[in-house]
Amino acid sequence: MNDLEFAELVRLHAPRVRALCAATLGNADEAEDAAQETFLKAHRSLDRFSGGSAIGTWLHRIAVNECLDRLRAAGRRRSDSLDAILEADGNALGAVLSESSPAKALEDRDLAERLLARLNPEQRMALTLKEVQGFTYEEIAEAMDCSLDSVKARIKRARAELLEITRHFSGADGV
């Protein structure tokens, strides 16, 4: 594959890879760097791409691994406590999750990021691939190189943990 062909590949797959990195990593600069790194790694290993799967799937797998590495590193640095989040932003989240208002995205994306950062990297990745990318469980299993049962368990645990946290915000009957 020459440079022109590779540039075309980047052009074609960049939107989804960038969206994945942005949704998974939260931080815009880091997401951009991760997306670039994904294509750089793909270029380095083009000769090892067997063609056994679609090239889009292969790129997603590289992006997933890149983001997981960064999430694991971020997890080691993370210091936000649940109490700190509750104290600072409990009301905002409670309002968004209230049954009395229509479902909508949190305007404070930093708060959403801090909540998602409480999940372990694999759970967060599986849930993001489902919620943002609209992947099927089979596609998630392929992108994360794990079993279908692992995907089900990760998504289920991720949502359960987030529901448990958000119950703190809106009371026992809330969300």
Partner 1 sequence: MNHDQIRGRLDEWLDGALSPAESSAASSHIDACVDCRNEVSRLKRLGAALFAAPAPVDPRSTEAFVARVMARVEEDAVSPWERFAARVLAPAFGLALAGLIFTISLPSAAEDDSPLGVAMVDAEAVMGVAP
Q: For binding to partner 1 (CB under 8 A), which residues are involved?
A: 3, 6-7, 10-11, 14-15, 18-19, 22-23, 32, 35-36, 39-40, 43-44, 93, 96-97, 99, 103-106, 109, 112, 115-116, 128, 130-132, 136-137, 152, 155-156, 159, 162-163, 166, 175
CB 161 within 8 A of CB 123: yes
| Residue recorded with tokens 């949502």 | 159
**Nearest CB to partner 1, comparing residues 70 and 126:** 126
From the CB of 53, what's the least distance to partner 1, in Å? 21
CB of 131 to partner 1, least distance (A): 4
Task: Please provide residue 49's backbone torsions phi and psi, each rounded to the nearest 5 degrees.
Answer: -70, 115
Q: How far is the CB of 52 from partner 1 (least distance, A)?
A: 24
C-alpha span between 63 and 57 (Å, rounded): 10
Q: Which of 64, 81, 78 is nearest to 24 (CA)?
A: 64
Closer of 33 and 75 to partner 1 (Cβ): 33
Query: Torsion-angle region of residue 51: left (phi > 0), alpha (psi -120 to 50) or beta?
Result: left
